[in-house]
């Protein structure tokens, strides 16, 4: 079998006819390079869009449903996406077939709303690929040994794609999203945030686990198992962030700050996480934190990250301060 590449498309990459046309062009180019493809899709759009997961949940009172029933209705968005895209691609002459998590062979634990992938029976997908048909998998879902539908955690379509990539020993996982890659901070906070071109698995995992919302942490773990490179990018750009095991920290000088992430702790407190390389050697940063009047509630110092708990209303302000003084100033 030729080299397999897994392509995952986020919900905002599927919303319009132009988006789907762009996806078809991506697929055509990848096929021309000789790749066999497997696609994974998220539900179309966000809250308010007709088939987004959160929109579907608005039609019901969740306290009246069992976890099993909640999983069933929540799985519909991704299934709709897979059928919409498959229909469009077939109309364009690109043979494809929509699969649910169950028909893709994704077996999970029994936790209906926070399941973990146990195994993947790849025979259905493999048969389609051998027939020249592109499998389009509904992400975020699987099934139990007893046949019940389950959901992975939020952002679980990334996990679906990475687990499939690991199962097939794919040469690469491409994740198409609405941002140009993993960035130095949230571009909604700082419009001068920059795209990080390369990260190793450990760096990317720290960012994802600390509040970076671009990729699910479990997806990185799946890719790391078989050293599968991940590229995160927008449909409209060939640039992006590459995550791979061959990228080392040695290219970063000690004390370098890679990025800043934020988390809401509660209605009064937020967390800013500074992620970098050998941060214990960045004396300027330490002095800034310890002596500048930042109204810090608490902080934790580690070699590769520093966590600050501060009043929630000033989180964005201090992200801006750190970004300007310790990232923008050295780029």
Q: What confidence tens digit (pLDDT) does each residue in 265-285 have?
A: 999 999 999 999 899 899 888
Q: How far from chain centre, in Å, is Cα 177? A: 8
With vertex at residue 17, the alpha carbon angle to CA 59 and CA 21, rounded to the nearest 5 degrees, is: 135
- At residue 287 the predicted structure's pLDDT band, cuts being 50, 70 and 90, is confident
**6-20, 62-76, 183-197, range with the lowest pLDDT:** 62-76
- Predicted local confidence at residue 154, as pLDDT: 83
Place of tokens 């709709």: 80
Q: Report the C-alpha gap between 314 and 311 in whole angstroms.
A: 6
Task: Please list the residues that pair with 99 across neighbouring strands.
Answer: 137
Task: Please list the residues that pair with 49 across neighbouring strands.
Answer: 47
- Res 294 pLDDT > 80: no
Percent of the chain with pLDDT over 90: 71
Q: Report the C-alpha gap between 184 and 179 in whole angstroms.
A: 12
With b for 16 or more beta-carbon neighbours within 10 A and e for fewer, the 143-174 pattern comes to bbeeebbbbbeebbbbbbbbbbbbbbebebbb
Question: Please, are residues 305 and 206 in contact by the beta-carbon 8 Å criterion?
Answer: yes
Instruction: Kindly state the DSSP code that residue 43 receives in the 8-state scheme.
Output: P
Helix (H, G, I), strand (E, B), or coil: what is residue 106?
A: strand
Ranges of H-type helices in 226-327: 283-291, 315-326
- At residue 204 the predicted structure's pLDDT band, cuts being 50, 70 and 90, is very high
- Predicted local confidence at residue 2, as pLDDT: 65
Average pLDDT over residues 69-85: 93
Distances (CA, A) of 76 to 18, 190, 206: 23, 35, 31
Nearest to 224 by CA among 165, 184, 269: 165
| H/E segment holding residue 9 | strand 4-9
- Predicted local confidence at residue 133, as pLDDT: 98
Helix (H, G, I), strand (E, B), or coil: what is residue 162?
A: helix
Place of tokens 């990334």: 158
Question: Please, are residues 89 and 96 in contact by the beta-carbon 8 Å criterion?
Answer: yes
What is the distance in angstroms between the CA of the first residue and the CA of the last residue of the chain?
43
Torsion of CA 16, 21, 27, 32, to 10 degrees: -170
Nearest to 158 by CA among 6, 48, 13: 6
Q: Report the C-alpha gap between 183 and 206 in whole angstroms.
A: 13
Average pLDDT over residues 292-303: 82
Q: How many Å is the maximal CA-CA distance in the chain?
A: 65
Q: Report the C-alpha gap between 113 and 143 in whole angstroms.
A: 11
- Predicted local confidence at residue 203, as pLDDT: 92
Strand order in the sheet with 298-301: 256-264, 269-277, 305-311, 298-301
Average pLDDT taken over every residue of the chain = 91
- Res 57 pLDDT > 70: yes
Helix (H, G, I), strand (E, B), or coil: what is residue 277?
A: strand
- Predicted local confidence at residue 63, as pLDDT: 64
Question: Please, are residues 149 and 2 in contact by the beta-carbon 8 Å criterion?
Answer: no
Strand order in the sheet with 198-199: 96-99, 134-138, 36-41, 4-9, 172-176, 230-233, 241-243, 198-199
Q: Report the C-alpha gap between 295 and 102 in whole angstroms.
A: 51
Locate 34 and state its tokens: 């000789």
- At residue 251 the predicted structure's pLDDT band, cuts being 50, 70 and 90, is low
Residues present in the chain in total:
331
pTM for the structure as a whole: 0.93
């Amino acid at each position: 079998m030729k080299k397999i590449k897994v392509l995952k498309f986020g919900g905002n990459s599927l919303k319009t006819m132009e988006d789907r046309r762009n996806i078809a062009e991506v697929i055509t180019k990848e096929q021309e390079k000789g790749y066999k493809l497997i696609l994974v899709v998220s539900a179309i759009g966000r809250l308010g869009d007709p088939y987004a997961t959160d929109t579907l949940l608005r039609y019901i009172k969740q306290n009246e449903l069992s976890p099993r029933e909640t999983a069933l209705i929540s799985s519909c968005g991704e299934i709709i996406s897979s059928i919409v895209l498959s229909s469009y691609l077939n109309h364009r002459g690109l043979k494809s077939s929509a699969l649910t998590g169950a028909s893709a062979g994704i077996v999970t634990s029994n936790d209906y709303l926070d399941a973990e992938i146990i195994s993947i029976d790849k025979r259905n997908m493999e048969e389609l690929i051998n027939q020249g048909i592109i499998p389009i998998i509904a992400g975020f879902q699987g099934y139990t040994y007893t046949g019940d539908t389950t959901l992975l955690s939020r952002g679980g379509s990334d996990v679906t794609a990475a687990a499939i990539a690991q199962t097939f020993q794919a040469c690469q996982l491409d994740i198409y999203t609405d941002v140009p890659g993993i960035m130095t901070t949230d571009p909604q906070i700082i419009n001068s945030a920059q795209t990080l071109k390369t990260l190793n698995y450990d760096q990317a995992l720290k960012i994802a686990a600390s509040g970076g919302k671009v990729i699910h942490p479990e997806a990185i773990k799946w890719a790391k198992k078989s050293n599968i490179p991940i590229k995160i990018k927008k449909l409209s750009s060939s640039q992006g962030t590459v995550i791979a095991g061959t990228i080392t920290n040695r290219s970063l000088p000690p004390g370098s700050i890679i990025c800043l992430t934020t988390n809401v702790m509660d209605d009064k407190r937020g967390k800013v996480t500074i992620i970098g390389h050998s941060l214990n050697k960045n004396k300027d940063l330490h002095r800034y934190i310890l002596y500048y009047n930042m109204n810090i509630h608490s902080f934790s110092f580690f070699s590769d990250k520093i966590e600050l708990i501060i009043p929630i209303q000033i989180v964005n302000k201090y992200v801006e301060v750190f970004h300007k003084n310790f990232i923008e100033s050295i780029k």
